[in-house]
Structure 1
């Protein structure tokens, strides 16, 4: 049986960041990805936003890792010349009735350590974003956008330069605990690994259930929230990201800009039971209705369907807002196995911070 020091299952942005951290630590690292290329799911089907960290419950993994990850990510982008832009974001109250929620969001941001938000009233907004119809806004100067593919290429290059190896179309169908680590079942063969990081994203909970010895009750319930995106054809007047107030399951149907300045809207929220990236063009009606609340000039027929993404959300009856779950031996009882559950937004922003946390937990096994 072949043996390797560390195996990372999944080559999304989280798996690649973890593999990089382990390889830079001097460990032998094998990255196993069942698709034909890296980053084919959540990592490449999102808004490509670097989040500031104001939305998440105080003390949550999302809040802590987003705030630290944002600083690490901007620094990494500068050092590696990864395309990004710190555009800033406007979180808007369309009318006076939404002001209490916007005030509450600022209070949550302060608790989380996000201290750079500033208020813009209707007069200032008319100067900053003349096309925007809103009563007031919170401006987040540290929000930005990033080339997610460029980021993943750089993470992989760093990992490979430190000795890591990526194996594509390598499907892990389960595993079992042994005296020397974890035995993984990979395409009908067995592979012994001293440390295993389950970064399988949308199917991390499914894979964990196939690991013999992992107690069923330690695997969280996960729901899929699909969000579709629509692109804008033609000109738009905006220079910042525009976000309405958050809604259940997401941050609202917002406007993001890509690095070329093209506008897209989304995601919305649709709860589904399986991985399915179908984009229903009829959902555009809800987009027009939502967007015209703050951009009445949006022309009929200007939106066209582009793609969808799926967020794996950990469901905890005691916590209405799902959190990241980084689960080691203390959670499931198996030495050398770390499961990453519910790594959705702001996972892209938090990828380097999450990798540092996984590295810290792995060190106790070495």
Structure 2
């Protein structure tokens, strides 16, 4: 067992953790990313070829207005567009189609369209023209959606971070963290029986949805500050057999369990499905209501632990879209310039 010291440790294995690591390293901080490693299987246990992990960048139309989630997704999408352009990261703009199964869902789509002039309502016949064979009561189409090469994005973020001096460890996890008078002592595990102890001044928990809560539960003194329930439904991704049935991102309903599903195509014509909730769940709530329990950026003012930032509630389906904006928010929280408060159903930013 060794005892080393570093300024910042970031925990997480996705785009958010890499974006945070990059942002802090570029600001001159000494940073280590503790990562579980690249994803090689879908949630059904099927192996995915290297370079074959497309990430849907959804339209903002399904984001609940006035929430941190909506704000960070909108800001993040703009920052991501600039970044992917500068790095020549592959992106296919497909547009996104939200389908109504009945007259009640069409009424919900009309409400969405009324607040966003950039989207367009479609009749059932017009939907069939866009996606052949798709039967429905109508739909709504937003053109600002597409699919990005997630592997290339994460590689670019990692290269930026490492070029700026960051360290990236893979196949590693946080076992426990203990706040000290100044900073933290953390135990990291890799292979069974392996344990390394490290000291750091700042600890950032940037895992996806449930992972972030699990990591926080291993930090001494955090249990009473954990979210009372998951802030976002668990996200599952599956690679489907056969070619993609749709050319666009398609949400097959805007109410109940159908609103939690997203179908999209990969770069080799393969078909993917993301699901945010179990198929058995049905609800009369709108898509935005079901999918949204607002995100939280939890700093010292919320939990009382100096140097710790938790990012809670970020679902894997929105993580890539919001990662650049969330990284800026984490940096602001560490600097003490901003505290984030997000009561339901609205959110506000509180300057401190």
TM class by smaller structure = 0.7 to 0.9
Q: Please name the residue that 1:261 is paired with.
A: 269
Give the structure 2 partner of residue 280 of structure 1. none
- CA deviation profile, 1:269-326 (whole Å, cap 9, x unmatched): 32xxxxxxxxxxxx9xx9xxxxxxxxxxxxxxxxxxxxxxxxxxxxxxx998322221
2:305 maps to what in 1?
Answer: 334
Aligned residues of 1:88 and 1:140 also touching (Cα < 8 A): yes
Matches within 5 A, 1:11-30: 11-30=13-32
Query: C-alpha deviations, 1:166-220, integer Å up to 9, x for none?
Result: 0123332111112221221224333221111012333322222222223514444
Larger CA deviation: 23-32 vs 183-192? 183-192
TM-score, normalised relative to structure 2:
0.79
Q: Give the Cα–Cα distance (whole angstroms) in 1 for the partners of residues 322 and 96 of structure 2.
A: 18
| Residue 225 in structure 1 maps to residue 227 in structure 2 | no
Whether contact under 8 Å (2:99, 2:254) holds in the other structure is no
> Which of 134, 139, 142 matches 2:141?
139
Q: Distance in 2 between matches of 1:48 and 1:89?
A: 14
Question: Does 1:211 find its partner at 2:219?
Answer: yes
After superposing the two structures, state which structure 1 stretch, 16-25 or 180-189, moved more: 180-189
CA shift at 1:249, angstroms?
6.7
The separation in 1 between residues aligned to 2:23 and 2:238, in whole angstroms, is 32
Q: Is the 8 A contact 1:229 1:268 kept in 2?
A: no
**Aligned-pair RMSD on alpha carbons?**
3.0
> 1:38 aligned to 2:51?
no
Query: For 2:10, which of 8, 11, 20 is the aligned residue?
Result: 8
Deviation at 1:56, TM superposition (A): 2.5
Question: Per the alignment, in what secondary structure is the counterpart of residue 347 of structure 1?
Answer: helix
Cα distance 1:52–1:253, how it changes in 2: closer, same or farther (>3 A)? closer
Aligned pair 1:239/2:247, yes or no?
yes
Secondary structure of 2:135's counterpart equals: coil
TM superposition score normalised by structure 1 = 0.76
4+ residue runs over 4 A deviation: 39-47, 247-250
Q: Deviations over 1:27-56 (max 9, x none)?
A: 1111112x3x23568999987210222223
Tell me the distance in 2 between the aligned counterparts of 1:243 and 1:48. 15
The residue matched to 1:225 in structure 2 has which SS? coil
CA distance in structure 2 between the aligned counterparts of 1:235 and 1:13, rounded to whole angstroms = 25
1:124: which partner in 2? 126
User: Kindly tell me: are residues 213 and 239 of structure 1, through their superposed partners in 2, closer, same or farther at Cα, counting changes over 3 Å?
Assistant: closer
Say whether 1:360 aligns with 2:341: no
Unaligned runs of 5+ in 2: 190-194, 281-288, 338-352
For the residue of structure 1 that corresponds to 2:305, the secondary structure is coil
CA, structure 1 residues 149+191, in 2 after alignment: closer, same or farther (shift >3 Å)? same
1:235 to partner: Cα distance: 7.2
- For 1:319 and 1:227, the matched residues in 2 are separated by 16
Which piece of structure 1 moves more, 94-103 or 213-222? 213-222
Deviation at 1:228, TM superposition (A): 5.4
The structural deviation recorded for 1:254 is 3.5
Match of 2:170 among 168, 171, 181: 168
Measured at CA, do residues 268 and 159 of structure 1 come closer, stay the same or move farther in structure 2, by a change above 3 Å?
closer
Matched residues in 1 for 2:172 and 2:129: separation? 54
What aligned pairs does 1:317-328 form with structure 2 within 5 A after superposition? 321-328=292-299
Q: How many residues get paired?
A: 312
Match of 1:347 in 2: 319
CA offset at residue 242 of structure 1? 2.1
Q: Provide closer, same or farther for how the CA distance between residues 323 and 211 of structure 1 changes in structure 2, counting only shifts above 3 A.
A: same
Partner of 2:98: 91
